[in-house]
């Protein structure tokens, strides 16, 4: 799989591969791996040759002599690569890979799957942080991340005070229709205590194939300090869960999102948490609903939105501009650029638009923010802080076979003005800070402000059952005024739209008087 990945990257990666740097990083990682594992008498293998998970623990006798031989062999390979760095090509790189596997057999005898995985990860990391092999055992999680769909019960969980806690329900899911509720502490999953479980491990155990059952032992804290907590079991049948990526500023007790932020001035608010296959359709429904209510301005919140599907980003930008191209993808030198164009049909009215961004607005978020705020379109005002600075577009191929996929950087992208969106990694190396997309109005939140914002946002988004209404301060909904008081970026964005509306109204009155 790794050899085929290298073959694909040789002709499809955004730029020619630096095989010397890839080899050096891979060898250094393999050398370090043996040194770290060598401090333990046991080693846990989490996958077999097909990528299947396993809890097998192998006892390995780590002989100092073998560790020394491995370290010396790796140093020898490093010297060979560095001496031949200017002429180091794909053939020589793959030879180093083969030599590493052979040397392992005669020295430390690390499990092949572990060694290949570490060699591949380090080699690809030398290219960029976004080019990775998704091994067969990782495919399910990867597909869930890309589609925002999974098989489970429909809850959001967190660790609170060391306890696995239900932070919110998802509407119309198995959990929502069960006796489970937000605020409940999950003490066991199928009889296994959760006290020492990580969130990842707990989520894996709660998820499962649709139609199967999971038994949760739940403790519900009592609102009466004198009363004991209620402990009970609940068995829930798993089903397909779709996590919505389009959200409002608050969710009411029935689970309905509220999108109108300023009723008097008819200013809406929509937060996109990702770019999945149904994000554009979900946004379209919200826009139509708001426009039926007389929408005059919109705040689109892309903060902490790390991206998703390029097609989704293009479809969303297309809703607000009716001509020209939205983004240009530029593959490696000598290959044709790919343009994504806007269409007049389906374009929404030219109401004032503010987009909120921060350092976690990445990838597809940067494409949307960049296209709409670009000097060619000037369709949106960006408020917040500079975006993440990914600056590249990734593609996915199953060419490497055996159920694995390769996610790789295939192009850099440019805004409608022609400006390339620079990556943070590249800019930091040369001492520059102009990566990503910069805001029109910079508003930075302090750490204490961020903490308050997260808390208020969590309260406004949580979905609980009716039996918690008015009885538990943990689920208090916050008013618009309270929300704006802790979110300076949102407050400034709202002010920017109100100012535009005042200017538009003043101009309209002046034209009538004339």
Residue 368 makes CB contacts below 8 A (sequence gap 6+) with 300, 302, 313, 316, 317, 355
Contact, 247 vs 256, CB < 8 A? no
Least confident range of 94-103, 195-204, 481-490: 195-204
Chain centroid to CA 294: 33
Q: Does residue 100 lie in a domain region? A: yes
Same domain? For 116 and 174 the reply is no
Same domain? For 213 and 272 the reply is no
Segment 401-424, tens digit of pLDDT:
989 999 999 999 999 999 999 999
The C-alpha atoms of residue 258 and residue 252 are separated, in whole angstroms, by: 7
The C-alpha atoms of residue 175 and residue 455 are separated, in whole angstroms, by: 23
Helical pair 64-83 and 90-106, crossing angle rounded to 10 deg: 170
Q: Does residue 9 lie in a domain region? A: no
Contact, 241 vs 149, CB < 8 A? yes
Q: Does residue 434 lie in a domain region? A: yes
pLDDT at residue number 466: 52
Cα-based angle 342, 345, 346 (whole degrees, multiple of 5): 90
The C-alpha atoms of residue 492 and residue 303 are separated, in whole angstroms, by: 14
pLDDT at residue number 348: 98
Helical pair 112-125 and 19-37, crossing angle rounded to 10 deg: 140
Domain end residue (candidates: 78, 94, 126): 126
pLDDT at residue number 266: 98
pLDDT bin (cut points 50, 70, 90) of residue 20 is very high
> 237: which 2 tokens?
């049948």
pLDDT bin (cut points 50, 70, 90) of residue 254 is confident
pLDDT at residue number 229: 85
Segment 426-441, tens digit of pLDDT:
899 899 999 999 999 9
Same domain? For 182 and 168 the reply is yes
Domain end residue (candidates: 242, 275, 297): 242
Same domain? For 349 and 485 the reply is yes
The C-alpha atoms of residue 512 and residue 170 are separated, in whole angstroms, by: 50
Secondary-structure percent of the chain, ordered helix, strand, coil, rounded to 5: 40, 20, 40
What is the CB-side half-sphere exposure of residue 91 using CA atoms within 13 A?
A: 1
pLDDT at residue number 42: 47
Bridge partners, 53 (sequence order): 47
Same domain? For 369 and 494 the reply is yes
Task: State the virtual CA torsion across 136, 142, 144, 146 in degrees, nearest 10.
Answer: -140
pLDDT at residue number 66: 86
Same domain? For 117 and 234 the reply is no
- Residue spans of alpha helices (H) in 13-83: 19-37, 64-83
What is the DSSP annotation of 129-146? TT-EEE-GGGHHHHHHHH
Q: Does residue 25 lie in a domain region? A: yes
Contact, 497 vs 352, CB < 8 A? yes
Q: Helix, strand or coil for residue 313?
A: helix
Q: What does residue 157 show for φ and ψ, rounded to 5 degrees?
A: -125, 160
Same domain? For 350 and 308 the reply is yes
CATH number of the domain to which 209 belongs: 2.30.42.10
pLDDT at residue number 104: 92
The domain total for the chain is: 3
pLDDT at residue number 33: 85
* Token pair 């102009």 in the structure block, residue: 434
The domain of 162 spans 149-242
Bridge partners, 272 (sequence order): 246
* Token pair 């000097």 in the structure block, residue: 375
pLDDT at residue number 62: 61
What is the mean predicted confidence (pLDDT) over 342-369?
97
CATH number of the domain to which 362 belongs: 3.90.226.10
Segment 264-303, tens digit of pLDDT:
999 999 999 999 999 999 999 999 999 999 999 999 999 9
Same domain? For 258 and 212 the reply is no
What is the mean predicted confidence (pLDDT) over 76-95?
93
Chain centroid to CA 324: 29
More reliable by pLDDT, 288 or 335: 288
Bridge partners, 349 (sequence order): none
Same domain? For 256 and 232 the reply is no
For the chain, the maximum distance between any two Cα atoms, rounded to a whole number of angstroms, is 94
Cα-based angle 60, 66, 68 (whole degrees, multiple of 5): 130
Segment 352-361, tens digit of pLDDT:
999 999 999 9
Q: Does residue 426 lie in a domain region? A: yes
pLDDT at residue number 469: 42
Same domain? For 167 and 43 the reply is no
Residue-averaged pLDDT of the chain: 89
> 128: which 2 tokens?
């960029």
The C-alpha atoms of residue 145 and residue 276 are separated, in whole angstroms, by: 9
230-237 and 192-193 beta bridge pairing:
unpaired
Contact, 137 vs 51, CB < 8 A? yes
Residue 366 has pLDDT above 90, yes or no: yes
pLDDT bin (cut points 50, 70, 90) of residue 470 is very low
Domain end residue (candidates: 242, 257, 290): 242
pLDDT bin (cut points 50, 70, 90) of residue 116 is very high
The C-alpha atoms of residue 297 and residue 261 are separated, in whole angstroms, by: 10
* Token pair 């919109």 in the structure block, residue: 298
Residue 332 makes CB contacts below 8 A (sequence gap 6+) with 13, 14, 15, 16
Q: How many CB atoms lie within 10 A of CB 31?
A: 19
What is the mean predicted confidence (pLDDT) over 346-366?
97
Q: Does residue 350 lie in a domain region? A: yes
Q: Does residue 467 lie in a domain region? A: yes
Residue 23 makes CB contacts below 8 A (sequence gap 6+) with 77, 81, 88, 92, 93, 96, 123
Is residue 219 packed enough to be buried (19+ CB in 10 Å), middle (13-18) or exposed (0-12)? Answer: middle
Bridge partners, 11 (sequence order): none
Q: Does residue 172 lie in a domain region? A: yes
Same domain? For 268 and 222 the reply is no
The C-alpha atoms of residue 377 and residue 381 are separated, in whole angstroms, by: 11
Alpha-carbon Rg for the chain, nearest whole angstrom, is 26
Same domain? For 373 and 475 the reply is yes
Contact, 475 vs 360, CB < 8 A? no
Residue 151 has pLDDT above 70, yes or no: yes
The C-alpha atoms of residue 310 and residue 85 are separated, in whole angstroms, by: 36
């Amino acid at each position: 799989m790794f050899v085929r990945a290298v073959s694909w990257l040789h002709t499809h990666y955004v730029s020619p591969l630096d095989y010397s740097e890839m080899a050096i990083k891979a060898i250094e990682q393999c050398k370090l791996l043996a040194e770290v594992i060598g401090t333990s008498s046991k080693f846990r293998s989490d996958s077999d040759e097909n990528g299947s998970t396993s809890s097998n623990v192998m006892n390995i006798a780590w002989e100092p002599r073998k560790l020394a031989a491995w370290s010396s062999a790796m140093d020898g390979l490093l010297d060979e690569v560095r001496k031949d760095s200017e002429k180091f090509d794909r053939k020589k790189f793959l030879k180093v890979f083969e030599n590493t596997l052979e040397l392992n057999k005669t020295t430390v005898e690390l499990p092949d799957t572990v060694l290949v995985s570490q060699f591949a990860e380090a080699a690809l990391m030398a290219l960029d942080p976004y080019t990775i092999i998704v091994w067969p055992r990782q495919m399910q999680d990867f597909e869930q991340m890309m589609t925002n769909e999974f098989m489970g019960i429909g809850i959001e969980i967190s660790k609170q005070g060391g306890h696995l806690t239900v932070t919110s329900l998802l509407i119309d899911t198995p959990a929502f229709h069960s006796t489970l509720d937000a605020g409940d502490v999950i003490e066991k999953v199928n009889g296994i205590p959760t006290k020492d479980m990580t969130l990842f491990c707990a989520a894996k155990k709660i998820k499962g194939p649709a139609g199967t059952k999971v038994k949760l032992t739940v403790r519900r804290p009592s609102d009466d300090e004198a009363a004991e907590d209620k402990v009970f079991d609940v068995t829930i049948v798993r089903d397909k869960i779709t996590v919505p990526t389009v959200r409002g500023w608050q969710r009411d007790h029935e689970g309905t999102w509220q999108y109108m932020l300023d009723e008097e001035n008819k200013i809406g608010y929509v937060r996109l948490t990702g770019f999945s296959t149904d994000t554009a359709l979900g946004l379209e429904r919200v826009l139509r609903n708001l426009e039926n209510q007389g929408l005059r301005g919109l705040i689109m919140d892309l903060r902490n939105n790390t991206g998703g599907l390029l097609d989704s980003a293009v479809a969303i930008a297309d809703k607000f501009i009716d001509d020209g191209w939205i983004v240009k993808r530029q593959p490696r030198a000598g290959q044709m650029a790919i343009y994504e164009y806007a269409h007049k049909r389906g374009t929404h009215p030219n109401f004032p638009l503010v987009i909120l961004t921060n350092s976690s607005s990445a990838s597809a978020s940067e494409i949307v923010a960049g296209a709409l705020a670009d000097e060619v379109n000037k369709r949106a005002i960006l408020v917040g802080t500079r975006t993440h600075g990914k600056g590249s577009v990734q593609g996915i191929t199953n060419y490497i076979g055996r159920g694995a996929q390769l996610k790789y950087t295939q192009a850099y992208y440019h805004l409608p003005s022609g400006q390339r969106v620079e990556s943070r990694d590249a800019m930091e190396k040369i001492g520059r800070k102009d990566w990503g997309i910069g805001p029109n109005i910079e508003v930075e939140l302090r750490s204490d402000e961020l903490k308050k914002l997260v808390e208020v946002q969590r309260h406004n988004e949580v979905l609980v059952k009716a039996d918690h209404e008015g009885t538990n301060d943990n689920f208090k909904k916050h008013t618009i005024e309270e929300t704006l008081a802790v979110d300076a970026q949102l407050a400034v964005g709202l002010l920017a739209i109100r100012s535009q509306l005042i200017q538009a109204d003043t101009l309209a009155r002046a034209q009538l008087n004339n």
